[in-house]
A and B are shown apart, each in its own frame.
Chain A
Amino acid sequence: MTDSARAVQDLAAAIPVGEPPSGADLTRRARRRRRIRIASVAAAIALLALAAGLLASAGPQAGAGKAGRGQAHNQLTAYDVALAAGRHALTALGGPPVGSFGLIRSGQLWVLDGDGLFLTGDGGSSWKLIAVPGAGDPLANYEAIDFVSLRQGWIVVGRVNSLQVARTSDGGKEWSSVTLPASLFPRGWQGADVSFINQYDGWVVVQPYTPPGRQARSVVLYTTDGGVRWTVATAAAPVSSVIFSSATSGWGLGLGATSLYRTTDGGRSWQPVTLPRPAGTATGAWISLTLPEIAGGRAVLLAVPARGDAITESTGDGGLTWVARQAPFRGEPVYPQAATGEGAVCADCVVPGDEPFAVLGPAQWRYWGGDRVYTTTDSGATWSSVQPNLSFAAVGGTLGRVGVDNEGSEPPLQFASPQTGWALASTSSANGQQSQSVLLVTNDGGKAFSAVPSPRG
């Protein structure tokens, strides 16, 4: 037993614990969960019945139907400048829809919550709300989101026993939804991802619930018509999220975020990828990998082996050859919550996706580690770093140090341009007793960040 261990045990013992809920309380809670499941099924049946006349075949394998026209929000404008590729900035959220935030190509920002998408095109000075399917529905979760243009986007809306892929082609004025067949996940689902490469070709990954001890495998569906019809590519994919560079070539992050896979047939089959390691870095299994980002024909990811080394990996030939370089910062891994198929239970998995690693171009990358922002412009051969100035004036007062990894999740860091970027930081007071989540924006390449006012004022 070490002194550190004793300290942890001493601290745990000092935490007061109230009386556990009574058995009756747990029973009531279980009944409530059961009612929600039943309500969800009833709602899905009612929805399908209403939409029966509009159902369109999704192909013999998938059997997905077009669930009819979604809500038309005529009172909402498109806010064209704001919607654009914010992929993988959203992770799964359970329970009542609360949402997440994402960063978008043109320097704008969205925040997704139960009321819809809050969008800003002016650095957070003003916000506009666009309703999305599932808004206001306490049974709905937003599982994944992707936009390929200012107008063309998709959101995966999950309920207890159903998943819908909603699409818009007018910047959110109108949405249409396809309900994925429940036969693809008969025991329920535990995570989903969506990825498009253009307005036609896209993929959805669904992680069915996997009982303990069973090998977890995902269902990959694809569309070639913008999401009107979905066809199953495979029901045995070892991946939790995907990104494609063409209609056939793509990458998949393994369940558990510790392995990488490659497909060259549109997601029908997946081959494991062996990533090289620079000399002197730790061997053994990867602690975590990020899903590659594709820029200028190169796929770039951050890999973390044991011991916390950080290794940038990039390839320009589809994975035949890799350039692996150790970075000067410590790799803080994405916390893997996806089922590994090795016995881990994953009742409410989230898909890793928010990393403090931003790919601005094929050779220009940034990382926020500790209190410094690191930048490379030569594919990781050399790095420079700055300790950014932080201003919290917009949210009132001055907070202490920024702890980017103290709240159970890595802060997304994305740059819309070499100068403009965003981060979600957790700030804490000097003594660590108070913390707060704050959106930050930089307009000088990371030298200074300032807090963004809340969408709700």
Chain B
Amino acid sequence: MDDAGTGDERSRVGSAGGLTPFEAWYRGEYPNMVRVLTLVSGDAEIAADAAAEAFTRALANWDRVAAMASPAGWAYTVALNVLRRRQQRARIEQLIARREPPPPPVPEDRLYLWEAVRSLPPRQRTAIVLHYVADMPQDQVAKVMGVAPGTVAATLHAARDSLRDKLNGSDSDGTDRP
């Protein structure tokens, strides 16, 4: 497949609104993906780069991705894998070059939330933002994270408990949608 050609061809046969199916999907998914990856990684720049990389791969394989049951699930999986590598690289760069880590990308009045979410273990953090920010059902979170659905349920439960403790509040509803 010609990566560039795919996009051009689709542009010519684009919808009445002027957007190709890929572009419409991409523009709809991009903001949430960047937010999810920012919360997972703590680094908005790495998050935006990982999102761009995931959508680039989706564009290059759009015929196949579009036919999937969940193109977004595929894109999030790729993005999280890319993110993981970018983070490792950033850690080593910080270590070797003493680079300053990025500041939190949220307003001051949200710093307490930022700290609470960032203090969650990586798996809990990933699960909770995929579920509540990317709005994925638990079985899809399980597929994206490569774990069993029961693991996701347990992880979400632990994440909510931990967040509740950190925020000194009490959840009004201990149950969750599947």
Residues of A within 8 A of B (CB): 1-5, 7-18, 20-21, 23, 25-27, 29-31, 33-34, 91-95, 98-101, 111, 113, 212, 256, 258, 282, 284-285, 287, 306-308, 332-333, 335-340, 342-350, 395, 403, 405-409, 424, 426, 431-439, 454-456
Closest approach, in angstroms, between the C-beta of A433 and any C-beta of chain B?
A: 6
- B85 contacts A8, C-beta separation under 8 Å: no
- Assess the B39–A344 pair: CB atoms within 8 A: no
Q: How far is the CA of A93 from the CA of B117 in the complex (A)?
A: 26
Contact A7 B167 (CB under 8 A): yes
- State A287–B115 Cα separation when bound (angstroms): 25
Partner-A contacts on B (CB < 8 A): 3-4, 7-8, 11, 20, 22-23, 26-27, 30-32, 34-36, 38-42, 44, 48, 52-53, 55-57, 59-60, 68, 74, 77-78, 80-89, 91-98, 100-101, 103-107, 110-111, 113-119, 121-123, 126, 128-129, 131-133, 143-148, 150-151, 154-155, 158-160, 163-164, 167, 169-174, 176
The 10 closest A-B pairs by CB, nearest first: A30-B3, A432-B115, A344-B146, A94-B85, A4-B163, A2-B171, A306-B154, A20-B30, A11-B113, A345-B77
Distance of A34 Cα from B59 Cα, bound (Å): 12
Known contacts A16-B105, A26-B55, A433-B104; A4 and B60 CB within 8 A of each other: no
Quick check: A27 and B154 within 8 Å, CB to CB?
no
A432, B39: Cα distance in complex, Å: 14
Given contacts A92-B85, A284-B150, 4 further A-B contacts (CB under 8 A): A31-B3, A94-B85, A406-B119, A407-B42
Chain B residue with minimal CB distance to A407?
B91
- What B residues does A345 contact at CB under 8 A? 74, 77-78, 81
Residues of B within 8 A of A18 (CB): 48
Can you list 18 A-B contacts (CB < 8 A)? A8-B132, A11-B113, A15-B34, A23-B23, A26-B52, A29-B53, A111-B95, A258-B147, A287-B151, A287-B155, A306-B154, A350-B85, A403-B119, A406-B42, A432-B115, A433-B111, A434-B101, A436-B94
Cα of A101 to Cα of B95 in the assembled complex, Å: 10
